[in-house]
Structure 1
Amino acid sequence: MLTPRSLFRVFALSEGVTWTLLLAGLLANALTELPSGVVTVVGGLHGAVFLGYAVISALVGVNQRWGLGRTVLAVVLAVIPYATIPFEKQVERKGLLVGEWRREHSGDARDDHWFDRLYRWFIVRPLLLTVALLLLVVGIFALLLFVGPPGGWPATD
């Protein structure tokens, strides 16, 4: 089973890889006449990985008790190309990825909060958690597709 550390590291690295694909696709499109679908597909892949990284950052941030500021920072850094990689290295170096999933009440008063109880309920049901997180990512992705490209950006045909 994946640990918080291994899951976060996979998504942080994947975010960097998809940035490379996206930037290479945009550069290739500017220099050559790529079929319009290439950048759309690569952009969609990057967007899906970005959303996955955001959801996993939140999940791991809650598990590791990073606090709202560090968790939001983890998500926001995904907007900057490759910034997830040094962030991952920093939290690793500080020991903020150490430990297993919090499946049980630890005796810590913070575990009495309704959110932590709900969190643990999902963590002990990994299949249900995975489905819920996938539905969340797909729902956000669909909403963003419905809204359209960021303002001022030309839509690809």
Structure 2
Amino acid sequence: MKISTKGRYGLTIMIELAKKYGDGPIPLKVIAKDNGLSEHYLEQLAALLRNAGLIKSVRGAYGGYKLTKEPKHIHAGDIIRALEGPIVLVEGLENEPPAQQALWLKIRDAVREVLEKTTLEDLVQYNQNEKEPPEAYMFYI
């Protein structure tokens, strides 16, 4: 399973709205500028998130977007499914040998469990507590 920019940037929108939860609506142009993203693309993603009932828009001079629920009640899985569709690792799983089916199902279930247990509140807390980015793997050839 590969999460596209839809899922990644949509999660960014949601985390930014969660950080400012209770402060009123946040314009997408602020989120776009703060994160170096395209406002036009974020508008497309916001429409999907709004249709999924995760955010609502507020019109007017002080308008923008805000979460429909508290960050502790929105899970990463809700966001990813709204933007990417169902979580599927392998197409045509029924045609795989039983041992491979079992492996793919275990992996799918593990991914689902992480997404369902991780809330926006968790992600905001992680961002606030993280002083340096986690070390990436370095490969030398």
Q: Which has the higher strand share?
A: 2
Q: TM-score, normalised by structure 2?
A: 0.30
Q: TM-score, normalised by structure 1?
A: 0.28
Q: Which has the higher helix share?
A: 1
